[in-house]
């Protein structure tokens, strides 16, 4: 399987070919389909990576420590004060 960067480069190449407008309708459709497949795959991988980063950010520093379930706990505290 190609790396994320290689697939992103392929998507950029497809986009440039479509923007140039020098392809037949059939080729444009084929390129569009290829671009959509690349785009969906890249989006899924980014989503997976974002979830992994979120888990790592919220991982407890000590074994007996509870994980932080909010990405920005300091903002959550401010919001609670404003709501009361």
Residue 76 scores a pLDDT above 70: no
Task: Encode pLDDT of 5-64 as tens digits.
Answer: 999 999 999 999 999 999 999 999 999 999 999 999 999 999 999 998 888 887 766 667
Q: Which domain, by its residues, includes 79?
A: 4-83
pTM: predicted TM-score of the whole model, two decimal places: 0.65
| Residue labelled with tokens 């059939």 | 26
- Residue 60 in 3-state DSSP? coil
If one counts the domains in the chain, the total is 1
Q: What is the DSSP letter of 2?
A: -
Specify whether the CB–CB gap between 60 and 43 falls below 8 A.
no
């Amino acid at each position: 399987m190609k790396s994320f960067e290689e697939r992103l480069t392929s998507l950029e190449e497809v986009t440039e070919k479509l923007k140039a407008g020098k392809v037949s309708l059939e080729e444009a459709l084929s390129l569009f389909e290829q671009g959509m497949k690349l785009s969906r795959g890249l989006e899924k991988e980014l989503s997976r990576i974002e979830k992994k980063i979120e888990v790592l950010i919220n991982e407890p520093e000590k074994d007996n420590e509870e994980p932080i379930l909010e990405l920005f706990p300091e903002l959550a505290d401010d919001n609670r004060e404003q709501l009361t």
